[in-house]
Amino acid sequence: MKDRVSITMLDDGIADVRLIRTDKMNALDPAMFAGIAEAIGMLRETKGLRVVVLSGEGRAFCAGLDLTSLSSGPSDGKKQGEGSVTGNLGGRSHGIANLAQYVAWGWRELPVPVIAAAHGVAFGGGFQILSGADIRFIHPDTRCAIMEMKWGLVPDMAGFPLWRGNVRDDVIRELTYTNREFKGTEAHALGFATHVSETPLEDALNLARILALKNPAAMRGAKTLCNAMADGTDAELLALESSEQVKVIRTPNQMEAVAAEMQKRKPVFTD
């Protein structure tokens, strides 16, 4: 993982996660897929984690699939695709997802907010990883594309379940069918990004500092509700609101949130 993804723990339980394959604009090769999946797994087990900020080092957020790496033949006697990202596309190796899907979908499964900061390029799989974040800051000049059709492929890294509810159906179809590029400003206008920013990473970290001071149990419940909105029925969502509230109301952390707010001080929460 260490040569593809870095995790730096900042104050207040903020994880600064960066894609660091800078010589390839953070393109996705098998090691990058494995590194991102490992990073998500480590974050899931990190005590005191409050917020994740995801970004790319160097000139880009992520340039998408490294086709040269992924299409190269095995050198150790294995059959083509055996043990690789593309070797078992239908297999559910990570819960409801395969490995390729998990590097985007896995951010939604983390119990804390994930804030992404994109610049430079967010193509194909990189654009789908960006879409996995709860909140997305994007530089206005970021080059974006649902790129897969260019290479005769379909988007298969969790983009469709992540995009629904944010972007109109016909817009997703047009961008998928044509694989045309669009800038960060258009990504925001269409619903793919939350904010346009000249300094996306700085703004993402600033927001993370705000979210890190919220009741972590309430934040987990709120993310559970947000994740359920896309396909939950009205009855299911109403019931889920109630059940999540029961988990937090009158608990020590909820009372601490009230006390800190009334006393105008920094809260101290426990896991």
Mean pLDDT of 96-104: 96
Q: Top-level CATH class of 5-211?
A: alpha beta
Sign of the CA dihedral running 33, 191, 54, 105: negative
Q: For domain 216-263, give the fold.
A: Lyase 2-enoyl-coa Hydratase; Chain  A, domain 2 (1.10.12)
Query: Is residue 13 scored above 80 in pLDDT?
Result: yes
Report pLDDT digits (tens) over 198-224: 999 999 999 999 999 999 999 999 999
- CB neighbours (10 Å) of residue 177? 10
**Phi, psi for residue 52 in degrees, rounded to 5:** -115, 135
| Domain boundary assignment for the chain | 5-211, 216-263
pLDDT at 120: 98
Report pLDDT digits (tens) over 131-141: 999 999 999 99
